[in-house]
Amino acid sequence: MKMQPVESSNIEAMGHDPLTSEMDVKFKSSALPYRYANVSEEVYQRIITAPSVGSAFIELVRNHPELYPFTKLEPEVAEPAATPKQAGQRITSLTVGRTYNLGNYESLRIELSWDLAPSESPAQIYRALRSQLDQLRAMRLQAAVAGDDDPDRPF
């Protein structure tokens, strides 16, 4: 998602994807951005055009975690196929994971692992695992919005 710098004492940059209704926020105090779900284009535009971007963000999004759940994004990792290998070596397993903030200082870590057969492409498996994580996240968000937010059910 493309981020644009904003004038704020606490927020460095923001971005919005209207197709997924996700908004990324990079705070000046954090190395990694946060992703907020269910943010409409209208809410995003109200924030970035407000006289105080930080105050608008707090009022419209941060004060409503039940409407706009968030996740701290992990650093982007190069796909395994882009990693240089020595002659004769091959990737035999992959693990991808994400950590989700559940609120109240609790988080959930989901990891998916795959043992690769010699004929399988590491890059394809990596993309498939990332896609599965995205689907699990979407299921979790749908359950939260529907009020079926059982903390003992991971997704």
Residue 127 falls within a domain, yes or no? yes
Residue 152 falls within a domain, yes or no? no
Domain boundary among 72, 88, 111: 72
147: left (phi over 0), alpha (psi -120 to 50) or beta: left
Q: Specify whether 66 is located in the same domain as 88.
A: no
Q: What's the rounded Cα separation, in Å, for the pair 97 and 85?
A: 23
Tally of domains in the chain: 2
Q: What is the tens place of the pLDDT at every residue in 99-132?
A: 766 666 676 677 777 787 777 787 788 788 878 8
Q: What's the rounded Cα separation, in Å, for the pair 82 and 78?
A: 6
Residue 150 falls within a domain, yes or no? no
Q: Specify whether 54 is located in the same domain as 86.
A: no
Q: Specify whether 54 is located in the same domain as 97.
A: no
Q: Which domain holds residue 118?
A: 80-145
Q: What is the tens place of the pLDDT at every residue in 3-31?
A: 999 999 999 999 999 999 999 999 998 88
Which whole-number Å values give the CA distances from 33 to 27, 50, 94, 116, in the listed order? 7, 21, 25, 32
Residue 154 falls within a domain, yes or no? no
Residue 151 falls within a domain, yes or no? no
| pTM more than 0.85 | no
